[in-house]
Structure 1
Amino acid sequence: MNVTDAAYDTVHQHPGGSEALAPRLGMSAAVLRGKVNPNSDRNLLSLQEADALMARTGDFRILHAMCAQHGFVAQRTDAPESGSLISALLLAAAAKGDLAELVSAALDDGRISPNESDAIARACAQVMAALVQVSQHAEAAAGRGGQ
């Protein structure tokens, strides 16, 4: 997933969308929609606005997209989300299965369309995030004496 798609998805998939987020960012909903519009190269999100957007939504796919674009993976340094190491591993396996199913379906006609490529990129980001959760649970378990 590229940064532009990540910003668009962050706004449009948030409960209430741009109408709910824009006032919290100090702008109108129309301006926010324009800033994350992938078909526009004018009036883009600033770094400060992207940071505020991630802070207000708790959705860090913009950060993950930037990292992936440059060959990095971001990992939280605080406690993992609730659940266990086993549940995190199972969620990661499910995300990987979803990715494999998506790639298989995309290859059915012998080519990958731009929309299929975007969907695959989004699924890859979900797999990466799920695997980071596995790592965090393992680190948390080691910090508690390996429990």
Structure 2
Amino acid sequence: MSGAVLRNKVNPNNSTHHLSLAEASEIMGVTGDDRMLHALAAEHGYMLRRVEGAASGSVISAVLAVSRRQGDLAQAVAISLEDGRITPNESSEIRRLCASIQADAADLAQRAELASAGGQ
């Protein structure tokens, strides 16, 4: 597609041209920039995490990683609430730790699936 057509499709003030999901996917693939995907997910109340390659390591180490992150989260919340309020920076840290727990839990699920298939 021409540059002019693409500009019209991504211009929020243009109501006559629209970017299709297939086109958005192609753009993200070519550019390596997934911000559109994250913005769409956030608009609908979701948070995304890239799934890396196959999980490696033991199920036990994955359980311990999840537990460690949960402890980090509990500590961050406790420290944040010491003064009776949560600042924007403290909220960002809590959000980051929650995302880390989700990532570690997904890794644990992958390792358990591999183990159930005889992989470990």
TM-score past 0.5 threshold: yes
Q: 1:1-147 counterparts in 2 under 5 A? A: 48-49=27-28, 52-53=32-33, 66=41, 70-71=45-46, 76=51, 79-80=54-55, 82-144=56-118, 147=120
Provide the rounded CA distance (Å) in 2 between the counterparts of 1:77 and 1:99.
Answer: 23
1:63-104 residue CA offsets vs partner (Å, 9 max, x unmatched): 5xx47x624665849621x21000011011001110110000
Deviation at 1:144, TM superposition (A): 1.1
What TM-score results when the alignment is normalised by the length of structure 1?
Answer: 0.51
Structure 2: runs of 5 or more not aligned: 1-23
Q: Could you tell me the percent identity over the aligned residues?
A: 37
1:21-49 residue CA offsets vs partner (Å, 9 max, x unmatched): xxxxxxxxxxxxxxxxxxxxxxxxx8745
Contact between 1:98 and 1:123, CA under 8 Å: does it hold in 2?
A: yes
Residues 1:74 and 1:141: Cα distance change in structure 2 (over 3 Å): same
1:97-131 residue CA offsets vs partner (Å, 9 max, x unmatched): 10110000000000001110011000100011001
Provide the rounded CA distance (Å) in 1 between the counterparts of 2:100 and 2:82.
Answer: 22
Contact between 1:75 and 1:132, CA under 8 Å: does it hold in 2?
A: no
Provide the rounded CA distance (Å) in 2 between the counterparts of 1:77 and 1:122.
Answer: 18
Provide the rounded CA distance (Å) in 2 between the counterparts of 1:122 and 1:128.
Answer: 10
Number of equivalences: 92
Deviation at 1:143, TM superposition (A): 1.1
Provide the rounded CA distance (Å) in 2 between the counterparts of 1:98 and 1:144.
Answer: 32
Contact between 1:95 and 1:126, CA under 8 Å: does it hold in 2?
A: yes
Letter in 2 for 1:134: L
What TM-score results when the alignment is normalised by the length of structure 2?
Answer: 0.61
SS at match of 2:78: helix
Provide the rounded CA distance (Å) in 2 between the counterparts of 1:143 and 1:73.
Answer: 27
Provide the rounded CA distance (Å) in 2 between the counterparts of 1:144 and 1:106.
Answer: 43
Letter in 1 for 2:102: M
Q: What is the Cα-based RMSD across aligned positions, in Å? A: 3.4
- Provide runs of 4+ in structure 1 moved above 6 Å: none
